[in-house]
Structure 1
Amino acid sequence: MIEMIRYDNTPTVVVVLVPLRGGLLMVRRALPGEGFGKLALPGGYQMLGQSWQEAGAREMMEETGVIISPEALRVVTVETTPDRRQNLLFCQSPPVEHQGAFVHDAEVSEIRVIHEPTETAFPRHTRVVREFFMNSGDL
């Protein structure tokens, strides 16, 4: 009998910066646990069989209803969390047009466009948001 080796790989979380209406698109987290009720950048796990670009576009659609082009996403920075349990891939889309209301899933309680740096649910998000505004909306 052949023994199966089980690998415990580090998952990738794709976090997306979307310039919109002269600001930056943010979500208020509705998931219980860390960051509940606080603002964060949209994002989530890259699923098996998806490129990181496809994961970013999917998460953006699920959490905000905003459609972005996966091909237009570019990497801003990649970091590993201090506990080494996740790789965070921060990426940015070109500015998008989105008229009308936002639509979100159960992971989000509110969608906002911010026009200046703000404290977020996660220190890394806060730093990337601050850098976005310091660089006039382009990282």
Structure 2
Amino acid sequence: MIRYKNTPMVVVVLVPLRNGLLMIRRALPGGYQMLGQTWQEAGAREVMEETGVVVIPEALRIVTVETTPDRRLNLIFCQSPPVEHQSTFVHDAEVSEVLVVHEPVETAFPLHTQRVREFFEREA
């Protein structure tokens, strides 16, 4: 039996919110695409699980696709249209904080940091 080691797909979502960008502590919302999900469904699910914010899967648009420098993950960076969310943020145990940033910030991941910077450059 042949066994293949496939590179996992992670969907990372840029969510414009409250004139800024929705983030979780040190990163953008995102996670693995599960078998049987579209990348859009995976992105919307991850945003909901990690922040409590609802995004419409069909409204997500690809910004870019990157492979991490160690070649262990493929990242689909996508963006939702601006969303309204006035209530408090709700998150799962994987997330320690949800916030909205209004300027570029350093994240735990260089590719995320680059996308955050480019988001604010496009919005300027």
TM over 0.5: yes
TM-score by length of 1: 0.87
TM-score by length of 2: 0.98
Q: Deviations over 1:51-96 (max 9, x none)?
A: 0000000000000000100000000000111111100100000000
The aligned residue for residue 11 of structure 1 is 8
Structure 2 unaligned residues grouped into runs of 5+: none
Q: Which residue of 2 aligns with 1:119?
A: 106
Partner of 1:59: 46
SS in 2 for 1:24: strand
Is 2:26 the partner of 1:46? Answer: no
Q: Answer with 1 or 2: which has the greater Rg.
A: 1
Q: 1:84 is aligned with what amino acid?
A: R
- Residue 128 of structure 1 pairs with residue 110 of structure 2: no
Question: Structure 1 residue runs of 4+, over 6 Å off?
Answer: none
Fraction of identical pairs, as percent: 79
Unaligned runs of 5+ in 1: 29-38
State the distance in 2 between where 1:99 and 1:10 align: 37
State how far apart, in whole Å, the 2-side matches of 1:44 and 1:92 are.
Answer: 14
How many residues are paired up?
124
CA distance in 2, matches of 1:13, 1:125: 12
Cα distance in 2 for partners of 1:27, 1:112 equals 6
The residue number in structure 1 matching 2:76 is 89
Q: Return the alpha-carbon distance in structure 1 between the equivalents of residues 114 and 59 of structure 2.
A: 23
Shift of residue 121, structure 1, vs aligned partner: 0.7
